[in-house]
Structure 1
């Protein structure tokens, strides 16, 4: 029997999940639960999971801790991306990026438009990289998290997806 080569092995990413919401807790965080289950079902590891208030400084603190950790390859946030003045996620996260993945938000809104029509215009999503850690910000609705995971992130976190993916860069990092 032929043994697997490094290229044949699927890279299991360590992904942290941050729910950003002022009133959710572990019992009511359906979006965080969905993402944790989706990450695990896809062969990745949930490196950490937390809920923080919709406050730009609380968000930055939690993300900064994970960005500095060698145990986290990627972070998925959910919540705080809407059009209300209180929503702080995008303003909190964007200054942390070394590189923004502009196409992520554009692609998310295209899928969102196909799903919910012109309301997709308000589907703010953001992607980027900080200290070699991928960060993706999704809206807080579980349906939006499902859309972002199933249409974009699941495939891009799969080291076998061709012609390119985000996971392959982490194959030799560990």
Structure 2
């Protein structure tokens, strides 16, 4: 089991949050608010935050720009992972992945099943690596964002988590 090594130094990461929605704006982006609050409470920095429409070119442009920005180490998206016609976040982002993180989707569904049951099959949550930047694509519900952060991301993005965490890999992500 994982545990937090209280003697280890906590490394604050620069995390960007992108909400994908045709209907939300900065005043009612509750999922983005949930992620921002949790990121800051965990001791990380909110590097950037924005909202884009459910349009593949808009999503891709923002992700490519942020993945190229040295001040962004992690990107978390919320929204657009369902099955309706306008849900296009995986289609926008997965072709950009240098490497997929299939285990994230598996763990997300395990955690989500404990909260909402079989409805979790309606999510296409995904994750991967783009230009040395971890990208996590979450559903747009506040519950899904809480589940993903509290049960997966919070620990994996904590440099003190032992025996392993994603932060330990970061210096080597762009090796060739």
For the superposition of Structure 1 and Structure 2, which TM-score range results when normalised by the shorter chain? over 0.9
Do the aligned partners of 1:112 and 1:123 also contact (CA within 8 Å) in 2?
A: no
Task: Give the drift of 1:8.
Answer: 2.6
Whether the 8 Å contact between 1:11 and 1:171 is mirrored in structure 2 is: no
* SS across alignment from 1:70: coil
1:79 aligns with 2:82: no
CA–CA distance in structure 2, aligned partners of residues 170 and 123 of structure 1: 27
Q: How far apart are 1:164 and its partner, in Å?
A: 1.0
Aligned to 1:122: 122
Measured after TM superposition, the shift of residue 85 of structure 1 is 1.8
Runs of 5+ unmatched residues, structure 2: 1-6
Matched-pair contact (CA < 8 Å) for 1:11–1:158: yes
The aligned residue for residue 11 of structure 1 is 11
- The separation in 2 between residues aligned to 1:172 and 1:8, in whole angstroms, is 20
Q: Are 2:104 and 1:104 aligned?
A: yes
- The structural deviation recorded for 1:67 is 0.5
Distance 1:119 1:46 in 2: 30
Matches of 1:99 and 1:18, distance apart in 2: 20
Answer yes or no: is the 8 Å Cα contact 2:132–2:170 preserved in 1.
Answer: no
Which 4+ runs in 1 deviate beyond 2 A?
168-173
Residues of 2 paired with 1:12 and 1:170: CA distance? 13
Q: Which runs of 5+ in 1 are unaligned?
A: 1-6
How many residues are treated as equivalent by the alignment? 167
